[in-house]
Amino acid sequence: MSFTWPWALAALALLPVFVWLYLRGLPRPAEAAVLHPDLRLLAQASARPRPLRRHLPALLYLGALSLALVALARPTAPLPLPDNRTTIMLVIDVSRSMEAQDIKPSRFVAAQEAARNFVRSLPQGARVGLASFAGYAVLNAPPTTRHEEVFAAIDGLGMARRTAIGEGLLEGLNALPERGPNATETKNLPAAAIVLLSDGRNNSGSDPLEAAAQAKKFGVKVYTVGLGTENGDPGGAGWGGFWGGFDAETLKQIASSTGGRYFEARSSGQLNTIYRELGRSLGWTVQPREVSGFVAALAGLALLGSLAASDRMSRRIL
């Protein structure tokens, strides 16, 4: 936390003076003794609250005063704010191996649910789109702020043969603003990112690393997610008999070469966690904002608490 007017914090030096004045004003024990006919009634009348309870109103008042003085210094703190400048493309592998059930209920269903959670975690005004790939790539939903269109595209995904990771990456890249096939400008472009999920190995289309080089050229970070268990789904016949694991090394190279990150998901729970974390980091930005209003509100609540505690103690039958 920092302060716009740090010199105002010097007023906090007055707090010890208030504490001293409070302690000085506390009633002192009587210096003389008197006789009283009813000792039981006298004991009840002279009963005092427990030490902490006795000083609670003063402590709350002191806290309210401290917070008010801090608010005067105009504190600022880093807060998460919607980042509507960044366009995000989801790129999902829909090859037939996504039917494997080593991820319950299946890789395909788990990927769909994680994609929905990703979109839900984005702020309302965020621009997000969807592309899918098997042996070829398809733009299912261009980047839009109408998230219901992306949900509909996720629900409409279907599967096909083969795996063309490079084609999927290029499809997502071409859908981003000012990054199409005919784009030439590589500087001062709108912020953009790609989240690519695959459960297999590239066996068709463009070289994924060449596609990653294109993404890097246009300043697009690619976050890759490898989906599946370590040994794949040995029980599946699959198309061409292949239901093996994902190509972790290629996915790692794609992410690292573009400045993104690589993740592995061995269960539907892990996949959902990864997508939610990505949504909260890519769709939001942390910026310093003044929080003096919030601190002043806390001071008001502490003052109300002090008044309530004082009133309650003054109503005690002595």
The pLDDT assigned to 239 comes to 43
Say how far apart CA 240 and CA 97 lie, in whole Å: 10
Are residues 123 and 82 in contact, defined by beta-carbon separation less than 8 angstroms? yes
Q: What is the mean pLDDT of the chain?
A: 83
Say how far apart CA 283 and CA 128 lie, in whole Å: 9
Are residues 74 and 292 in contact, defined by beta-carbon separation less than 8 angstroms? yes
The pLDDT assigned to 240 comes to 41
Are residues 180 and 155 in contact, defined by beta-carbon separation less than 8 angstroms? no
Starting at the edge strand found earlier in the chain, the sheet holding 2-3 runs: 2-3, 75-82, 284-290
The pLDDT assigned to 142 comes to 96
Say how far apart CA 57 and CA 63 lie, in whole Å: 10
Are residues 268 and 114 in contact, defined by beta-carbon separation less than 8 angstroms? yes
Per DSSP, what are the bridge partners of residue 89? 129, 194
The residue whose two tokens read 């002191």 is 62
Q: Provide the sign of the torsion angle of the four alpha carbons 96, 196, 227, 206, taken in this order.
A: positive
CATH pick for 81-287 out of 3.30.1330.10, 1.10.10.60, 3.40.50.300, 3.40.50.410 = 3.40.50.410
Q: Which of 168-172, 178-182, 211-215, 268-272 has the lowest mean pLDDT?
A: 178-182
How many CA atoms within 13 Å lie on the side-chain side of 164? 19
Q: Which of 16-20, 112-116, 206-210 has the lowest mean pLDDT?
A: 16-20
The amino acid occupying position 98 is M
Overall average pLDDT of the 50-70 stretch: 78
Q: Please say if the pLDDT value at position 157 is more than 90.
A: yes
The residue whose two tokens read 């788990």 is 110
Say how far apart CA 137 and CA 212 lie, in whole Å: 15
Helix (H, G, I), strand (E, B) or coil at 198: strand
Which span out of 20-24, 55-59, 69-73, 266-270 was modeled with the highest average pLDDT? 266-270
Are residues 217 and 245 in contact, defined by beta-carbon separation less than 8 angstroms? no
Q: Please say if the pLDDT value at position 131 is more than 90.
A: yes
For the chain, domain boundaries: 81-287
Q: Which residue has the higher pLDDT, 47 or 168?
A: 168
Both tokens of 308, joined, read 């309530």
Q: Residue 185 contacts by C-beta under 8 Å, 6 or more apart in sequence?
A: 178
> Please, what is the angle between helix 15-25 and helix 51-72, to 10°?
150
